[in-house]
């Protein structure tokens, strides 16, 4: 268990990581006392739903830590946050095994209008319909500056379907893309042709079917998918 920033009062940020319930009540009390000053919150998904939803209206950064469990939808209450966290600027969703996330994204595609930074990690095999939910959620967000997607599409065609939406994000400055499937050299070049003009940094993790000498505008960097993606 890791708990950070429990001694500062008033607290602007609380980061809580735990595999059990030890220490949770103290953290919940700390959050409640500091709800008007709290700006940054990191919590496991099964603990976030224990908090009054009004707490999320003050947040600017939220990191939801999921698990690899597939049996239940751990993020079933995320739609409530989408409606109440109107000031949220940074959102990290580590929903490794949760299919329900994509239904929530689709149903709340116009939520969180102030979002500047978005990171989504999911290991579930994504069909074109599920992948479309991500595309609809990021579409038409002029304030979005940082986007990091570690996803598992079922094939290249599904992955490629989101590229035109990314290319239209005119304000995007930093982009991270992770896809575990093997792609062809021509597919790689297709990615390079669908990047926003104002992009300043990129992290691309893919498996190429064959080596290429000309990386075009990109340098393929192999990095751990949980690498920090900070605002």
Tell me what pLDDT residue 185 has: 74
Q: Where are the domains positioned within the chain? A: 116-231
Q: What is the pLDDT of residue 216?
A: 52
- The reported pLDDT for the residue numbered 43 is 84
Q: Where are the beta strands (DSSP E) in the chain?
A: 2-4, 13-17, 40-44, 61-65, 90-94, 117-126, 146-153, 174-183, 201-208
Structure tokens of 227?
Answer: 């690498």
Does domain 116-231 sit in CATH 2.60.40.10? no
Round to whole Å and give the CA distance between 122 and 99. 9
How high is the pLDDT of residue 19?
60
What pLDDT shows up at residue 77? 67
Find out whether 92 and 63 touch, Cβ atoms under 8 Å.
yes
Q: State the maximum Cα–Cα separation within the chain, in Å, rounded to a whole number.
A: 57
User: Rg of the Cα trace of the chain?
Assistant: 18
pLDDT in tens, 157-167: 888 899 999 99
Q: Angle at the Cα of 197 (from 231 to 202), degrees rounded to 5?
A: 45
Ranges of residues in the chain with a pLDDT under 70 are 1-10, 18-21, 67-77, 208-231
Q: Is the dihedral of CA 165, 170, 171, 172 positive or negative?
A: positive
Q: pLDDT for 50-100, tens place per residue?
A: 888 888 888 999 998 875 444 445 566 688 888 888 999 999 998 777 778
Q: Are 189 and 204 in contact (CB under 8 A)?
A: no
SS (H, E, C) 97-118: CCCHHHHHHHHCCCCCCCCCEE
């Amino acid at each position: 268990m890791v708990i950070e920033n429990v001694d500062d009062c008033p607290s602007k940020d609380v980061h809580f990581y735990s595999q059990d319930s030890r220490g949770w009540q103290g953290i919940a009390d700390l959050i409640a006392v500091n709800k008007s000053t709290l700006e940054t919150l990191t919590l496991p998904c099964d603990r976030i739903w224990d908090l009054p939803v009004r707490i999320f209206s003050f947040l600017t950064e939220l990191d939801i830590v999921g698990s690899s469990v597939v049996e239940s939808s751990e993020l079933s209450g995320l739609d409530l946050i989408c409606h109440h966290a109107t000031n949220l600027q940074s959102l990290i969703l580590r929903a490794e095994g949760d299919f329900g996330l994509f239904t929530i994204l689709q149903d709340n595609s116009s939520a969180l209008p102030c979002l500047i930074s978005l990171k989504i990690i999911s290991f579930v095999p994504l069909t074109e319909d599920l992948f479309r939910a991500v595309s609809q959620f990021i579409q038409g967000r002029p304030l979005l500056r940082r986007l990091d997607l570690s996803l598992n599409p079922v094939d290249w065609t599904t992955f490629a379907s989101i590229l035109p939406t990314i290319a239209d994000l005119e304000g995007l400055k930093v982009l991270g893309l992770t896809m575990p499937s093997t792609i062809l050299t021509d597919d790689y070049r297709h990615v390079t042709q669908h990047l926003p003009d104002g992009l300043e940094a990129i992290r691309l993790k893919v498996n190429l079917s064959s080596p290429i000498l000309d990386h075009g505008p990109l340098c393929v960097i192999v990095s751990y998918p949980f690498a920090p993606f900070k605002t």
